[in-house]
Amino acid sequence: MGGREATMVLLDENGIRCDGRKVDEPRRIMIKAGGLKNADGSAYIEFGENKILVGVFGPRDVHPKHMSNTDTGILRVRYHMEPFSVGERKNPAPSRREIEISKVIKEALEPAVMLEKFPRTAVDVYIEVLQADGGTRCAALSAASVALADAGIPMRDMVAAIAAGKVADTVILDVNNEEDQAGQADMPIGYMPSVEKITLLQLDGVLTPEEYKKCVEVGVNGCKIVYDLQKKALNDKYFGSGED
């Protein structure tokens, strides 16, 4: 939270945000299931200006073998940002941030995937961020869930994700890049709507207990919007026009 709010109007007198949205309005979201021929499952998401492609492979043998677990399958996640995905070219070497986000997404997906059904194997999730504009971890997590379902991996539910946050002392849904940089708080949330479980909750910034509760409520409601689009993506592929 950069505290640069004074130089930028994040919320105008009509309650309209810097990109024209209302406080409870998500960015435009488009999710497509499938698309990658060589992956077992895949998905593509556009979430505002974020563009992310996910490929899922497995369950398959684990190499190196000592990483396998005789009791359960393992999930491996790689979140990778293209050097051209941001305005200022990103160093192609894996950054600490990418390693952290890979871990966060893996831990958010683990409660959803029935890994116990395939011991000794691995499910690999490759996330390619083609264009980043704030909220990539949530968009990537939502797309990864669709790609896992597309791969036919047994799941308790899909994880839907979106961030709530605070700008100009107001709780908002779906924090964009400017709001993330100059706002007061950013709370990415991952949620399994059918089993009513939160699997990701991070908070950058400061909130009062009331604001915290409001952010969780607004975020969970936002996840339900994402969830409907995730289900639609799968429906379109498997019961839709017959393309793919």
Instruction: Kindly state whether residue 174 participates in binding ligand CDP, applying the rule CB under 6 A.
Output: no
Instruction: Kindly state whether residue 193 participates in binding ligand CDP, applying the rule CB under 6 A.
Output: no
Instruction: Select the residue interacting with ligand CDP from 55, 111, 135, 219 (CB under 6 A).
Output: 135
Give, as one character, the DSSP assignment of residue 167: E
Q: Which stretch binds ligand CDP (CB under 6 A): 6-14, 69-77, 132-140, 151-159?
A: 132-140
CA distance 147 to 162: 17
Question: Of 137 and 166, which has the nearer Cβ to ligand CDP?
Answer: 137
10 Å Cβ neighbour count for 240? 13
Instruction: Kindly state whether residue 80 participates in binding ligand CDP, applying the rule CB under 6 A.
Output: no
Closest contact distance (angstroms) between CB of 104 and ligand CDP is: 9
Instruction: Kindly state whether residue 18 participates in binding ligand CDP, applying the rule CB under 6 A.
Output: no
Question: How far from the centroid of its chain's Cα atoms is residue 62's Cα?
Answer: 25
- 227 within 8 A of 193, measured Cβ to Cβ: yes
Instruction: Kindly state whether residue 157 participates in binding ligand CDP, applying the rule CB under 6 A.
Output: no
End-to-end Cα separation, the chain, in angstroms: 42
The pairing of beta strand 160-167 with beta strand 185-192: antiparallel
Residues 6 or more apart whose Cβ sits within 8 Å of residue 234: 33, 146, 149, 150
Give me the long-range contacts of 61-67 (CB less than 8 A, separation at least 24): 61/120, 61/121, 61/122, 62/120, 62/121, 62/122, 67/122
Instruction: Kindly state whether residue 199 participates in binding ligand CDP, applying the rule CB under 6 A.
Output: no
Question: Of 132 and 143, which has the nearer Cβ to ligand CDP?
Answer: 132
Query: What is the footprint of ligand CDP within residues 83-112 (CB under 6 A)?
Result: 86, 90, 97
Question: Of 108 and 158, which has the nearer Cβ to ligand CDP?
Answer: 108
Closest contact distance (angstroms) between CB of 19 and ligand CDP is: 14
Instruction: Select the residue interacting with ligand CDP from 5, 124, 174, 180 (CB under 6 A).
Output: 180
Residues that bind ligand CDP (CB under 6 A): 86, 90, 97, 132-137, 177, 180
